[in-house]
Structure 1
Amino acid sequence: MKLWKKAVSLAIVSVLALSMSACGGSENKSTGSTDTFKIGGIGPTTGDAAIYGKAVKNGAQLAVDEINKNGGINGKKIEYKFEDDQNDAEKSVNAYNSLKDWGMQMLVGAVTSNPCTAVVENTHNDNMFQLTPSATAVESIQYDNAFRMCFSDPNQGSASADYIADNKLASKVAVIYNSSDPYSSGIYQKFAEEAKAKGLDVVAAEAFTADSKTDFSVQIQKAQSSGAELVFLPIYYQETSLILAQAKKAGFTPKYFGCDGMDGILALDGFDKSLAEGLMFLTPFTADAEDEKTQTFVKAYKDAFGDTPIQFAADAYDCVYTIKAAIEKSGVTPDKSVSDICDALKAAMTQIKMDCLTGKEITWSADGEPSKLPTVVVVEKGAYKVK
C-alpha cells in the first residue's frame, strides 16, 4: 500500500512539474525559433472599418515581403500573420490570444483605438512589444511596451487648430463630433483648447453618438445658423460622407477640415466625390505625393494588391521597417523570449531615427509617442493633393 501511494505521489509531482513548465509565461521562455521573427497584426478586415484593417494588413505584408526578399533582418526572415477583429475590443483580445498561440513575438496593431486599448492591457502583462500604426487614443499606448506610428488624438486636435488659424482658413468654426467615440471626442477637446488660444471662435459644437449617426440635420442646421465659415470634423469618413450630402441638400457650403479618420472617403462605394471637393484633412501620407519614396511604394502596392494605398497602409509599412531598424539597433535575435525581445526593442526605439513614408527624421520618446511634422491634403477633382 505504501509503495503504491509513493508511486502515485511521484506521478503527481511529475505531472505538476510538466504542467508548470508548459504554463510558464512568455517572459520566461523562448519561442523555440532561431531563424524567424514572428510579427502579428490585428485589425478590422470586415465590418464598417474594414478599409483601415485591409490597408494595414497589406501595407505590413508588402514591407515583410520586401525585407524577406532582401535577406531578412540580420539574416533572419519574418513570418507575418494578421487577424480580423471587426473593430471590436473583445474580438481583438481573442485575436491577440490566437496570435500568441501561433507564436507571435511582437505586434503591429491594433488598428483602431478601442480594440488597441483593450489589447495593450494584454501586451503589457506579457511584456510583448507593440507598435500600433493607427490607434490614436492616448490610452492605446499607455504602457512602456507600446509605441505608435501615427499622431495621438490630442496632437491631431492641436495641429488642426494651429493649421486653420495660421493659414487664416476661417475665424468662425463649428465642430461636429462623435461624443461616444474616444477618437473623436479626444481630438475635439484638444482642438477646442487650442482654438481658444489661437483666437478662433468655436461658434457651435454639436455632438452625435453611435446610436444617432445617420441623420445630421440638427447639427448641420445649428452650424449653419451660427455663421460658421468652416466645419471641423474629427470623425471617420463614413459619417462625413453623410454630413457632406445632407449639408449640400440644406444649402450649407462651408469649408471642411478633418483628421486622419477622413482618409478613405474617396474610396467609399457609391460616394459622390464632388461632395468632398475642397475638403482638407491632416494626414501623414498621400499617394499623390511626388517624392521617389512615395511613388515607389504606391507602385509596389498597386502591383501587389491592385489598389491605391491610403495612409493606414503607409503607417503599417513604416511600422515593419521601424521594427527592423529597432531589431538591428538592439541586436536581438528570434530565439530570445518575448519579454527579452520587448525590453531590447523598447530601448532601441528611443535611439533610432527613421525617414519613412509618413514622416522624415521620426523619433520616439519613452512614452511611445512619435515626433514628426503633420501634412495637410485637400481633395481636388476627386483626388488627394498635398497642400
Structure 2
Amino acid sequence: MSSINFNPAVSRRGLIMGLAGVGAAGVLAGCNSSDAGSGSTGGSDASGATFKIGGIGPITGAAAIYGNACQHGAQIAIDEINAEGGDIQFELNFQDDENDAERSVNAYNNLKDWGMQILMGTTTSTPCVAVSSETNADNLFQITPSGSSTDVIGGQPDVDGNVAEPRKENVFQMCFTDPNQGAASAQYISEQQLGTKIAIIYNNSDTYSTGIYQSFKDQASEYDLEIVSETTFTEDSQTDFSVQLNDAKNAGADLVFLPIYYTPISLILTQANQMGYAPKWFGVDGMDGLLTVEGFDTSLAEGCMLLTPFVATAEDEATQAFVSKYEEDYGETPNQFAADSYDCIYALRQAIEQAEVTADMDYSDICDALVEVFTSSEFSYTGLTTGGEAATWSETGEISKQPMGMVIQDGVYMPLDA
C-alpha cells in the first residue's frame, strides 16, 4: 500500500509551550470498577517508586468491547513492564464510564482522589473531549488510545474555520484523528480502485462519525470519487436503515462508506442483504468488533473493508506474541483498541525514561517533562500499531503513523493487498 500522510496539522503550541510547559499524554490502567469506585492492579512498593496510571472507558454498555479491549491491552503491557523489575513500575486503576461524558468526568475525579499521576484514556471520543478539558485545566498528562475527535486535542478549525476547543497542550493521541481517517479512506479507496460511485451513511449526532464524514467528503473529489448518496441517522434512530439503503441503491452506489460503529453496521448489512443490495462496504476503526455482535450472521461481513493501524494476523514476532498472550488471558483475539492501548503504555515508559522523571514527582511536573519529550524531534516510538515504522507526534498532539487496509475473509481480518 502506498504511504498515506496522517499528520497534516499545523503546530499551534508556539510560545505557549516555551513559556508554560503545559503537559500531556496519558495511559490506561488495569482493574475494572464502576465510576463510583476504583480498582487497581500492578506493581506497588513501599519506596514510592511506582507511577499511578489511571484509565477510563466503557466496561459495560453498548461500547464495552472498546473499553475492555483498552483495559486488557494496557494490562498486558503493564504486567510485562512490572515483571522486568526495572526502575519504572506502574500501578493501575481503570474506571468504567459507560461511554457517557458525565460519568467519565466523575471517573476522572475518582482517579484524582486515588492519586493518579498520568491518564491513559478515555476510550471514546465524546467522553474524552470532556475529560481532556479537565486534564488540561489540571495540567495532568493524558494520552488516549482511541479518542479520535480533533476536539480531544483541540486547536484545530472545522471546515468553516471555527475552533470549538482551544489546543490542549497536555493531550496526545495514539489513534488517528477523525479527519485523518476520512481523508485516508478516500485516498485508499481511490488508489485501490475499490469504487467510484460512493454512498455515505453516517451518524450526525456523533462527533466521531461526523468528523470522519466531513473530511472524507472534502477529499472525495480530489480522488475522483463521486458521492451519489449522503444519508444520516441518530442515536435514537439506528434500527431501521431502509431509507438510507434504498437511497444508496437507487443512486447506483457501488461502494458504501460507513464512518460509524460496528453495531449499526451489523444492522445495515443485515437489512441490505434482505433487500438484495450488495455493494462493497468500507469502514474505519469503528467497524472493528463487527464479528462479535451477538446474533449477527457474520457471513454477511465477508468482504467488508476498513483501515486500521493493527491486524492480529500479521506475522511479525511482536504482534504474534501479543495476540498469543491476549488470547491466553482473555479468551479472544485482540482488536486495534487493545493494541493501541498496549502501545500507549510502552510509549509512556519510553518517554518517562527519556524525560528522567520519577514517581515521587508532582503530576504537573511529570506532565511538563513528558510534553517536552513527546514533542521533541528526537522522540519516536515503534510498536504494534505503527506499521513497522517509527511513529512521531506533532506539537498539535496528533500521531503520524502508517495505516493498513484490512478485509474480512473467512471470519477473520486479513491484510487487504493491492
Does the TM-score normalized on the shorter chain lie above 0.5?
yes
SS at structure 1 position matched to 2:235 = coil
Looking at structure 1, the residues matched to 207 and 362 of structure 2 have their Cα atoms a distance apart, in angstroms, of: 34
> In structure 1, how many angstroms separate the alpha carbons of the residues matched to 2:294 and 2:85?
39
Q: Offset at 1:33?
A: 7.0
Shift of 1:34: 3.2
Aligned residue number for residue 66 of structure 1: 80
Q: Is residue 355 of structure 1 aligned with residue 369 of structure 2?
A: no
**Alignment-derived partner of residue 88 in structure 2:** 76
Q: Distance in 1 between the 2:140 and 2:395 partners? A: 15
Match of 2:122 in 1: 110
Aligned to 1:6: none
Please state how far the C-alpha of 1:265 moved relative to its aligned partner: 0.6
CA distance in 2, matches of 1:374, 1:317: 17
Gaps of 5+ in 1: 1-31
> Partners in 1 of 2:187 and 2:88 — Cα distance?
44
Alignment of 1:153-302 (within 5 A): 153-302=178-327
Are 1:38 and 1:104, in contact at CA under 8 Å, matched by a contact in 2? yes
Per the normalisation by structure 1, the TM-score is 0.90
SS at match of 2:361: coil
Find the counterpart in structure 1 of residue 104 from structure 2.
Answer: 92
Structure 1 residue identity aligned to 2:49: D
Secondary structure class of the residue paired with 2:224:
coil
- Give the SS at the match of 2:237: coil
Deviations along 1:22-58, one digit per CA (max 9) or x if unpaired, are: xxxxxxxxxx973110000000000000000000000
TM-score (norm 2): 0.84
Contact 2:190-2:223 within 8 A present in 1 as well: yes
Match of 2:140 in 1: 128
**Which of 356, 374, 381 is the equivalent residue of 2:410?**
381
CA contact (8 A) 2:58 2:123 kept: yes
How far 1:350 sits from its partner (Å)? 2.1
Q: Distance in 2 between matches of 1:210 and 1:306?
A: 31
The separation in 2 between residues aligned to 1:304 and 1:211, in whole angstroms, is 36
- Work out whether residues 283 and 376 of structure 1, in 8 Å CA contact, stay in contact via their aligned partners in 2: yes
Q: Is the 8 A contact 1:164 1:170 kept in 2?
A: yes
Aligned-residue Cα RMSD (Å) equals: 1.0
What amino acid is the match of 2:196?
A: S
**Post-superposition shift, 1:286?**
1.2
Distance 2:113 2:47 in 1: 14
Q: Which runs of 5+ in 2 are unaligned?
A: 1-45, 155-167
**Which 4+ runs in 1 deviate beyond 4 A?**
none
Partners of 1:285 and 1:273 in 2: CA distance: 21
Please say if 1:38 is aligned against 2:67. no
Matched, 1:47 2:61: yes
Q: What is the DSSP-based 3-state SS (H/G/I as helix, E as strand, rest coil) of the residue aligned with 2:175?
A: coil
How many residue pairs are counted as aligned between the two chains? 354
Offset, 1:197: 1.2
Checking the alignment, whether the CA contact within 8 Å between 1:33 and 1:334 is kept in structure 2 is no
Q: Which amino acid aligns with 1:230?
A: L
Q: Is the 8 A contact 1:34 1:333 kept in 2?
A: no
1:76 CA drift (Å): 3.2
Compare 238-247 and 134-143 and name the one that shifted more. Answer: 134-143
Give the drift of 1:325.
0.5
Aligned in 2, Cα 1:338/1:169: closer, same or farther, shift over 3 Å? same
Q: For the Cα contact (< 8 Å) 2:88–2:349, is it kept in 1? A: no
Secondary structure of the corresponding residue to residue 148 of structure 2: coil
1:195-251: CA deviation from partner (whole Å, max 9, x where unpaired): 011111000001111111000000000000000000000000000000000001011
Report the alpha carbon displacement of residue 268 of structure 1 after superposing the two structures with TM: 1.7
Q: For residues 279 and 334 of structure 2, what CA distance do their matches in structure 1 show?
A: 29
State whether residues 282 and 304 of structure 2, in contact with CA within 8 Å, keep that contact through their aligned partners in structure 1: yes
Matches within 5 A, 1:294-373: 294-351=319-376, 352-359=379-386, 360-373=389-402
Q: Secondary structure at the match of 2:230?
A: strand
Question: 1:127-146 maps to which residues of 2 (within 5 A)?
Answer: 127-142=139-154, 143-146=168-171
Instruction: Give, as a single letter, the amino acid of the residue that structure 2 aligns with 1:55.
Output: A
Find the aligned partners of 1:293 and 1:156 in 2 and give their Cα distance. Answer: 25
Q: Note if contact 1:33-1:335 (Cα within 8 Å) is conserved in structure 2.
A: no
Deviates more, 1:364-373 or 1:238-247: 364-373
CA distance in 2, matches of 1:110, 1:218: 34
AA of the residue aligned to 1:132 = T
SS of residue matched to 1:69:
helix
Q: Which has the larger radius of gyration?
A: 1
